């Protein structure tokens, strides 16, 4: 059964940009004076750490990642009460407030199919079976073109598919094709497409990624052996910018994707909820309070199976980041001396700094020092 879904995020720390020692933002005049006095330029890249707390469901942090300080988050998590195999979905956008650039995660699309004609007569194509839309499986490229675009880009004008490409390494990262139990097999297929379209008077470029996962169940019936298939279009990422500018933002988008980390404790409890709902064959939860009761019965011990699933998910996130645009590795790895762990940030900068709030500053000016005029303790990081 499906392991997890990407969950939306909320802001937990704000970047202190241009803060003087008295805690007040510096005026443009003071900023210019500081630049003149110290020789520092304002040509820096700033990132902040976001953390989403799943308040509606499990009640703890679901995940966190880095994003440019001036970008904003919109969207969130929604618990779906009619699907025991995927009781939570998310849709969120992280956009540049000063431009058209945007990182988007789409909600997973769950489906069901069978060669049991008796079942199909009761649940024809387009209906929902245990919360999953009844529809025959398709390839990842066909899913992006025939499912994702009509559902999430139907309001665009003059949409064109520029190219499409299968990504077998994403499927390998998931361990696709491994038999999970007698009578049960799994498969996976991944792809990306690049599109362009008009949004108002602006032409946009966008690259969309997706994975089609399938789990096939064979079982005997009065009509002979039948096969049921639970399948899903997931790992749905999108990177977009004004036409001609998408590739130039590859390093920023890669930093967001590389830094995305699920909280293993949240992931553990979510999977326990899914297993409980599936084992009990619950067709529909009547209200969110019932989910809360189930969550209260979960434990903190993470099984090897769940940990393996967690690691596979993180690996797929990294492969998507690596495949974006023409860049293979548009990031450098640094050592964070405060948290004592590695962090990946856009390459091409001479210096990187961090503070205890999980904020980062990159600069190509060797004289730049973020501690000047700030009441925060910025520590320089070493490139690894």
pLDDT along the chain (384 residues), means of 10: 33 27 35 44 79 91 92 88 86 93 95 94 94 96 98 95 90 66 84 94 95 90 86 94 91 86 92 87 74 86 87 80 58 89 84 93 88 92 88
Tokens at residue 359, please?
């904020």
DSSP state of 127: S
CA 325, CA 49: separation in Å to the nearest integer?
24
| DSSP bridge pairs for 363 | 44, 351
Q: Is 11 helix (H, G, I), strand (E, B) or coil?
A: coil
- φ, ψ of residue 151 in degrees (nearest 5): -85, -30
Q: Within a 10 A sphere around the Cβ of 79, how many other Cβ atoms?
A: 16
pTM of the model: 0.78
313 Cβ contact list (under 8 Å, min separation 6): 3, 4, 262, 267
Q: Report the pLDDT value the prediction gives residue 330, as an integer from 0 to 100.
A: 62
Sheet of 382-383, strand order: 341-346, 331-336, 382-383
CA 293, CA 244: separation in Å to the nearest integer?
51
Quote the crossing angle between the two packed helices 304-323 and 264-279, to the nearest 10°. Answer: 120
Tokens at residue 286, please?
């009547």
Q: Report the pLDDT value the prediction gives residue 180, as an integer from 0 to 100.
A: 63
Q: Report the pLDDT value the prediction gives residue 113, as an integer from 0 to 100.
A: 97
Q: Report the pLDDT value the prediction gives residue 197, as an integer from 0 to 100.
A: 97
Q: Where are the domains of the chain?
A: 9-70+245-384, 105-243
CA 256, CA 122: separation in Å to the nearest integer?
44
Strand 109-114, strand 132-134: pairing: parallel
Cα dist. 247→29, 97, 161, 253 in Å?
A: 35, 19, 17, 10
CA 102, CA 67: separation in Å to the nearest integer?
11
Q: Is 30 helix (H, G, I), strand (E, B) or coil?
A: helix
Strand 261-262, strand 341-346: pairing: unpaired
Q: Which residue has the tokens 């789990």?
A: 215
Q: 119-149 b/e with 16+ CB inside 10 Å = b?
A: beeebeeeeebbbbbbbebbebbebbbebbb
């Amino acid at each position: 059964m499906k392991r997890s879904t990407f969950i939306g995020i909320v802001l937990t720390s704000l970047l202190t940009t241009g803060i003087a020692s008295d805690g007040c933002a510096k005026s443009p005049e003071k900023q210019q004076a500081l630049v003149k006095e110290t020789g520092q330029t304002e040509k820096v890249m700033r990132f902040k750490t976001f953390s989403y707390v799943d308040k509606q469901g499990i009640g703890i942090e679901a995940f966190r990642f880095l994003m440019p300080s001036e970008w904003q988050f919109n969207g969130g998590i929604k618990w779906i009460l009619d699907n025991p195999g995927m009781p939570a979905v998310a849709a969120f956008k992280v956009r540049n407030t000063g431009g058209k650039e945007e990182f988007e995660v789409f909600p997973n699309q769950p489906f069901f199919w069978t060669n049991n004609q008796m079942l199909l007569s009761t649940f024809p194509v387009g209906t929902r079976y245990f919360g999953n839309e009844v529809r025959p499986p398709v390839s990842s490229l066909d899913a992006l073109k025939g499912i994702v675009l009509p559902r999430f880009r139907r309001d665009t004008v003059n949409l064109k598919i520029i190219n499409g490409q299968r990504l077998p390494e994403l499927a390998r990262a998931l361990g696709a094709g491994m038999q999970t139990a007698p009578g049960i097999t799994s498969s996976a297929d991944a792809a990306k497409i690049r599109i362009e379209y008009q949004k108002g008077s602006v032409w946009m470029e966008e690259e969309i990624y997706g994975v089609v996962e399938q789990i096939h169940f064979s079982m005997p019936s009065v009509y002979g052996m039948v096969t049921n298939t639970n399948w899903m279009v997931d790992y749905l990422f999108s990177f977009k910018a004004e036409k001609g500018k998408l590739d130039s933002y590859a390093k920023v988008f890669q930093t967001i994707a590389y830094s995305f980390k699920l909280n293993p404790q949240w992931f553990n409890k979510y999977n326990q909820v899914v297993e409980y709902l599936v084992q009990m064959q619950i067709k529909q939860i009547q209200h969110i309070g019932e989910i809360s009761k189930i969550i209260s019965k979960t434990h903190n011990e993470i099984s090897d199976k769940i940990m393996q699933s967690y690691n596979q998910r993180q690996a797929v996130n990294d492969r998507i980041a690596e495949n974006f645009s023409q860049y293979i590795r548009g990031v450098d790895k640094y050592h964070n001396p405060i948290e004592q762990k590695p962090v990946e940030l856009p390459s091409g900068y001479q210096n990187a700094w961090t503070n205890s709030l999980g904020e980062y500053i990159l600069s190509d000016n060797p004289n730049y020092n973020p501690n000047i005029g700030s009441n925060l303790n910025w520590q320089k990081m070493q490139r690894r």
